[in-house]
Every structure is written in C-alpha cells, then in structure tokens.
Amino acid sequence: MHRFVVHGGITRTRKCPSPWVPCEYIFGHKDLKTCKNWFERLMACINNEGDRPKNLMVFVHPLCGKGRGVKNWETVAPLFGRAKIKTKVIVTDRAGHAYDTLVSLSDIELKALDGVVAVGGDGLFNEILNGILSSRYKASYPPTPEGFGYFGSNDNENCEEQTRNGLNCSMQTPDSVDTTFPGNSTKCDDHEPLLSTSQPTGLEIPSLKQDHLVSFPNDWFRLGIIPSGSTDAIVLSTTGERDPVTSALLIILGRRMSLDIAQVVRWKSSPTAEVLPTVRYAASFAGYGFYGEVIRESENYRWMGPARYDISGTMVFLKHRSYEAKVAFLETPDTNPLAASAEDYVTGAQPLQSHQRRPHRIICRTNCFVCKEASTPGQNSEDEVADSSRTICENPKWVWSKGCFLSVGAAVISCRNERAPDGLVADAHLSDGFLHLLLIRDCPPLLYLWHLTQFTKKGSDPLSFKFVEHHKTPAFTFISSHDESVWNLDGEIFQACEVSVQACRGLVNLFASGPEV
C-alpha cells in the first residue's frame, strides 16, 4: 500500500464541544499513480484557498502568564510547519520590542506578510496594534463637542477644522501626533503588556508618503492571537475559547472577521501640561478611575504575578475614591434608548435603570447579522479607505454628564474573561462601530461591591443599577482636573486628563470568526 497523511482535520472533544482539536487521516492505495493523483489534487485545492496565510510574523512574549508564551508557541508551531506556513518568530526581550519592529518595517516588507501573530496576552496585542497603525492609519481625530477647543496640533498651519452638525473634526498628520512608545525598559516579569511606563525616548516615526502601499482598513492583512496572557479578553470575546490550539487552527485555516478599534487621543496629560495630541489605539477597553488605579497599583506587586491584580483591586476598592469629571458623548436616537439617564442626573431626576426598561440583548456570535449590517463596501478597497472606518451618525447630539464618578469605561468588545463570563458588556458587538460607555457614579461601597460581583455571574445584569449609566455611542470626550489622571488601555497605563475617543469600525481584520453559540 502507498500511503500519505493529511494533517489538519478538525474534531471536537467530548468534554468540551467548542475547542478545536487537530487530527490525522491516512489515505492509501495499491496503485502509486492513483495515490499521487489524490495527493496532487488535495494540494491544489489547499493552494487555491486564497484566505490561508502563507507568511506570518510571530511575536512571542516569553514571560506572560507565568511563562506560558514560549510553551504555547512550541505546542502550536508544528501545526504551522505542517501547513507550509512560513513564520518569522521574534521572542521579545524588552518593552516596546514588537512596536519598534513593526514601526521600522517598510511598506514593502509589511506587504509581503499576510499578518502578524501575538503569542501573549492583550497587552502584547495592543503593542502590535499600535505598531501597525501608528503611521499607517489615515483618519481625522475623534469628533469633539463644539467649543472643546483642541484641533490636533499646536501648529495651526497643520490643522484643519471642520464643523459638521456641531462637531469639531480635525485631521491628524504625522508631524502633529506624538506616536512614540517608550522602549528602554529592561524589566522582566509575567505582565503581558510590553509597553513601558517610563519616559518617552523620542522614537522617530516614518512620515506618510503619497505612494504609501499599506493603509487601513484593508481586506488582506490580519492579526492573530495565541492566548497566553493573564486574562485574554480579546481571544475570549472573538473566538469564545481561551485555547492556543483552537486559535492556531483559526489562523492556519485563514478565518477572517473585522474588529472595531478605539482611537484614543490624549490632549493633555495633566491640567497644567501643554496641549500635545498623543494617539493610542485600544482593541478591548479604555477605563478611568477604578480601572486605571488598579493597573497603576498593580505595578507595586509585580513579583506576585497575575495575583497582583486581586490585591491591587481590593486595595483600590477599599479606598473608594471618586473623581470629578465631565463626559460628553454623541447620542443617536436609534442606538441609545437609555441616553436620557445622563440628562436626568444633571437635572437631579432619577435615571431609568431597570431590567424592564433595558432593551433585549443581542449577543454577538459567528456570522453576526448586527456586525454584517454595520459593515460597508468601503472596507474592501484600499482606494476607498479614507473615512470608511468612521461611523456616520444622522442628526447627532452631544449629551454632557457631569459629577463624581467611581469609574469611566468604554468597552469596544464584550471583554469576556474567566472571572466575568459575560464580560463587561454582554451585548457589545465586534464590528458595529460603537463604544459602550459605562459611567459609574459615586455610591455607597456596599452597592459598588454588589455591582462588581454581578460581573462574575453568568446571565446577570450589572448595568441595571441606578448609579450606572450605559450609553452606546460612536465617540465621547472626557475632561478631568486631577493631576494624576490615569487610564487603562488594554492593560496599559496611559496618563491623561483630557481625551477624546472614537470607535473605528472594522479597522483591522482578525484571524477569527466570532464566538460560536
């Protein structure tokens, strides 16, 4: 018998029906010519599948998740080899390593890749995301309320103000944006984010040229994650499983889905600082107050590994600190059935937050019709890329919410994790062009604790409390007068007292297909 083996068949385990498991099939025939014919036809079918990647750059974080990064890559690397996928593997050795590498790539080098894969956690993915987009995403800054006063640069000659329906829209240019990521940190720990919190090093970003070959969004370049971090919220929200083999098979088979990205522009790092717009991108979450303080406090307990988040979270909760701030968000009639709660607070009325008044939740799944309806043809052509990722709102209105907040958060996706099975916002979608703005007003500690514990219960509704505002919005602006205002961007510390944020619809493609039912 003449035989050959087909690797990559997929089955499912009996104990857990969702994770994918690779298997092998042996084909044989007594006639060698027949056997070769089968083999050649199978190879021709595989080679004709245009979605399958052929060249990938892989970044491995050696210390994330107590050293799981290298081990997980060694587990899945043979699968890529069998699939004849070329991989350039880079084991990161410092903060900013992946960012520096991607920023220094020429467009010709990037064009030769089918995608970039992160073997690590949400922080490493955030670094790769910023390295890819920092000099290649051409779009205006987020819209801001009329009178906000910042137009993208101290040099007025480089700024173009556009007023549309009461919105300030300003174009970002490479010279007016501080897109440097610090990269001199030599600290080694199991904290998956690689971006240092030290002072910027003045990394020079290549300027955009007219013959730019790579721009976003596009329909060919994809990002992937082999989950190895502490929470892996992005993987859980986009695949439903925290399994390295499943994620590797999704990459090998060339699965594709669009993912919204939050563009965060810091106008001022402190109330007394100069106006210097600094752009960051986040794939899962941007949080202030409780969320930012937990990340900052955890820096003091790095030696504890992932357990430091429990300790720092408890300490921040016991302080029960609230922050005076102003938040303005874009309200659209068809997307904000509960938007009146913000104005009710300003006027002193009680907000309408109850299970009966909350709309029916539509959970994002594979082939989600909500994300498909939100997609636009412009995403499929790089010639129509300029503003295709901007969510167009008819008759938008700015709504201000002022007061003392325990936390301000914006979820791009559901942010599922093992401790919050439904995530922060169960019905957040992966590619609908909206952020879920969560404003948690000051309240008694026991009520806040009750709110937090609801996240750990599947099927609960932690956003139904009267001190919680939940707004679905394409953009918002935040202003605080605190000297040490800290944001949490995908687990990264970002000091800012004035920011504007917008959802960039389907800005990147991911090797995923959405959570399965």
Which is nearest to 273 in space by CA: 485, 488, 492, 502? 485
Which is nearest to 261 in space by CA: 429, 86, 412, 66? 412
23's CB contacts (< 8 A; 6+ apart) are 9, 10, 11
Instruction: Give the catalytic positions in this structure.
Output: 122
Token pair 């199978």: residue = 42
For CA atoms 167, 401, 319, 466, give the dihedral sign. negative
**Helix, coil or strand: residue 395:** coil
Question: CA-CA distance, 365 to 374, in Å (whole number)?
Answer: 14
Helix or strand holding residue 503 (H, E): strand 498-510
CA atoms in the 13 A half-sphere facing the CB of 110: 23
> Residues 163, 169, 171, CA angle at the centre, nearest 5°?
130
125's CB contacts (< 8 A; 6+ apart) are 118, 223, 225, 234, 283, 490
β-strand pairing of 222-227 with 498-510: parallel
Write out the DSSP string of 319-377. Answer: HT--EEEEEEEEE-TTT-TTTHHHHHHHHTPPP---TTTSPPP----TT-HHHHHH--G
DSSP 464: -
β-strand pairing of 161-164 with 468-473: unpaired
8 Å CB contact between 110 and 80: no
Token pair 């690779």: residue = 22
8 Å CB contact between 509 and 259: yes
Please list the residues that pair with 140 across neighbouring strands: 171
- Burial letters for 4-29: b for 16+ Cβ neighbours within 10 Å, e otherwise? eeeeeeeeeeeeeeebbebeeeeeee
Tokens of 380: 């499929």
Gyration radius of the chain over CA positions: 23
